Chains A and B, each alone.
Chain A
């Protein structure tokens, strides 16, 4: 009985085992193929962050790449708009936690794999938790979560202990485009080094929204940001509540009529207030498989891994570009130099703080700032906030020297970001 089972296992994985038991022309010369490699694969504990469009694919791909011990974290529940691509979910699963449904589905379908779900935030877990994994693979739509896990894994690296270095494989998609990247914490370019390659969309100026709308999107922003505050202050706006979206839609329609602006639709309203990014199964499949492929290569050394970035654009044929993103010595997370930040010395500290959320190289929403000598602005605790608030109206040149270093902290991240303030002339 045992031998039959072993036979069946051998037959089941015969395609995969061929590339693990035979060397190839692109493998490292020192690589030893064989049973040891197969065991290394089967004993590698992998963490998947995100059980959405990429995560569903990644879980399936890992299970069918021979990994046996997989963990998955996701805080979300299943929504109807997930069903066009998140293929482990059905109509009857709407409202259930993604991590649990996805894990159970793949475990049932692929014999011998163990998938442990955790429904919650990555921030709930500490270093001891992340230390148990061999590789971390991310399929996220949030830059903030990526930056958090990136800085956490970099903070865990102990030069004396090679096991403390957890390769981070990251995938992301938007419409027909996407990217896959491999990060070896402290050794190669990290998420933070590459932050300016993923700049946020510029926000519409508030005065346009408030007084001179020209586009249907401006009307929607007005209804969402201003009208709601005026008329429904006591209801916390929930972008998943259809009644709330409908209210904003109707308010935006009215505003459009008033200014003779056409084109406000329900779909556009949802898109603007939820910041919806188009997503399809095929792009997710391509990117998820690229990331899993790198996990397989890193776990087994059966071929060289990606160094370190592959971007994909599918609107015009199949276009990919593979390159090595540079590790930046002034990266606030993995570098040891402060990052230069050009500022207008005559702008106020308040304006500067506001600009940090939009500047591609910072993207910090709730920053607190201090120099070596003094606290410029501190959000918590309230007494300190009150004490430092007057600084917001002061000009930068009244607070810092040209070239001075400023440490910025933000509640979303565990680390301080170091910037060197350079005055523009």
Chain B
């Protein structure tokens, strides 16, 4: 990288500037350390068909190569056809008849010289772009899985559906065992669906909550230093207008809370009615005789009453995390997240609050007053981090972990975001089959009760999977993907499965919706429209980025996009 000048950013920081503002250097590092596996096709979809065109996967890779993913592997036994040139932007006229994986890889690589590597048909070459031209292998992905080192090179797997079950099932099961997230996608005509399979416990620290909701000012349980600052502010009345108009609103609220408590048996405002009374009380103390006819700091105080005058309470999501087995019973194999979570739970049981995040919103104030108030919050936050760190270090010694010590910055980040940590309970790629999870079937039945639900699109893609599975698994099958009898038998099979656990027959609206979704799906005969595939590729990349950087909130677990009606929905199936 070219050296920076004028103390400015490096050329790499300049190139990635617009994304570093979203996931910071830590997210970028995670991205650059990751390699993604794309399983883009798995044989023809029947007579007169060349198989999945796999544009969702290619477009998703485009959106990962641009921000600088470490590397990627494409598994795709197909050769380039005319039809590919009509949907896949990462192929050109000269690509006709050549390996689709190789050609796509070549043109994707042009997008970002940081994503290093070259064409190589050897299987193991970490941190390099590799291509598997496996035209002669009948079950390529199944064969690759024979090598136990193949899958673990990857941080994420993207599979382009429809893929026959005999290839899909071992892949998603193996990935699940090894804790590697999987995205399974479909893009047919105007429809796109995809599901994300995450490990059974998938923790996230940097959830990026809305800054407004992440504020924790502790006005009802101030610590001694904050109380002391406030005590210094005993004489508001003797201040001149300038001073009075620059008292930080936090101190205004603390000051009048004390007055309120004195006249309310020592209690702070407790319910909505009392809070509104308190708000009017604060409002009445603003000076209106000045030139501006009011005071901005008092306006801020009034506006903050309902939001900030509330006792500390633990969010239910965090309480649930504290109650999990992994949080309670640590062992030498426990990962960093659970060790810190355990230490923070200990802090909570000791103090009845979480570590203070320490950030202070901007407010009308003199510079020096604001800075000293900010320091009081920062100092307290630092002390809380120290306390948690001590607990973590003790735990590390007790457990005799063989991992390196947890970095201080991770403990600090955890403390700062403790109120907003999240654990996603990942589920397997959902399917409607005889061994379907009852939760999946129940969620689908519930959705079918809503007249506008798009779950019918998911059902239609499940029927498509069944049709393709039967064609691909029967050798010398000359039936086309447009075979009415095949569609009829798989539709009946899936509809029967939907009443497996709940025998109440589907109502006519639900049947009508499913029928329409099948009709729209079959209109495209399994083909992708570039535009919808590109849209799905955007969404799939978005989820990939969140999973790889372990930031924000990933999909849990299925999304349907309907391009005919310009809508999407999410389900936990």
Contacts and interface: CB of A to CB of B under 8 A. Distances in A.
Given A26-B520, A61-B531, A318-B539, A91 B113 contact: yes
Given A280-B19, A282-B545, A315-B552, A293 B89 contact: no
B89 A282 contact: no
Contacts of B531: 61, 64-65, 289, 292-293, 296
B41 interface: no
Interface in B9-39: 9, 11, 13-22
B360 to A, nearest CB: 9
B307 to A, nearest CB: 18
Contacts of B44: none
B368 to A, nearest CB: 7
A212 B246 contact: yes
Interface stretch (A154-162, A263-271, A353-361, A390-398): A263-271
A164 to B, nearest CB: 26
Contact of B530 (A64, A90, A305): A64
17 contacts: A11-B81, A15-B53, A19-B190, A23-B523, A25-B520, A81-B17, A84-B15, A245-B8, A260-B367, A280-B18, A280-B545, A281-B63, A281-B541, A289-B535, A310-B566, A315-B552, A318-B570
Contact of B538 (A64, A243, A283): A283
B26 to A, nearest CB: 14
B82 interface: yes
Contact of B567 (A175, A213, A322): A322
A84 B67 contact: yes
Contacts of A289: 531-532, 534-535, 538
A304 B246 CA distance: 57
B543 interface: yes
Interface stretch (B155-163, B327-335, B491-499, B555-563): B555-563
Given A83-B15, A243-B6, A261-B367, A15 B83 contact: yes
B371 A320 contact: no
Contacts of B368: 259-260
Interface string B533-556: 011011101110100000011111
A214 B17 contact: no
B564 A14 contact: no
A215 B529 contact: no
Interface in A300-326: 303-306, 310, 314-320, 322
A232 interface: no
A90 B110 contact: yes
Contacts of B110: 90
The 6 closest A-B pairs by CB, nearest first: A285-B538, A15-B527, A246-B6, A289-B535, A286-B538, A64-B530
A111 B564 contact: no
B261 to A, nearest CB: 29
A412 B553 CA distance: 40
> Interface residues of B: mostly helix, strand, loop or mixed?
mixed
Given A65-B530, A81-B17, A87-B111, A303 B190 contact: yes
Interface string B410-427: 000000000000000000
A250 B566 CA distance: 48
A85 B67 CA distance: 7
B82 A12 contact: yes
Contacts of A271: 21
Contacts of B532: 289, 293
Contacts of A31: none
B5 interface: yes
B379 to A, nearest CB: 14
A315 B210 CA distance: 10
Contacts of A236: none
Interface in B354-386: 362-368, 370-371, 374
A310 B83 CA distance: 31
Interface string B157-191: 00000000000000000000000000000000110
Interface of B: 5-9, 11, 13-22, 53, 59, 62-63, 66-68, 81-83, 85-87, 89, 92-93, 110-113, 189-190, 208, 246, 362-368, 370-371, 374, 515-516, 519-520, 523-525, 527-532, 534-535, 537-539, 541-543, 545, 552-556, 559, 561, 563-568, 570
Interface string A245-261: 11001100000000111
A280 B67 contact: yes
Interface in A269-291: 270-271, 276-290
Contacts of A2: none
**Residue among A176, A285, A320 with the most chain B CB within 10 A?**
A285
Contacts of A288: 534
A48 B294 CA distance: 50
A98 to B, nearest CB: 15
A285 B63 contact: yes
Contact of A246 (B7, B16, B93, B524): B7
A304 B111 contact: no
A313 to B, nearest CB: 11
A242 interface: yes
A250 B527 CA distance: 57
A229 interface: no
A292 B538 CA distance: 14
B529 A284 contact: no
Contact of B82 (A8, A292, A320): A8
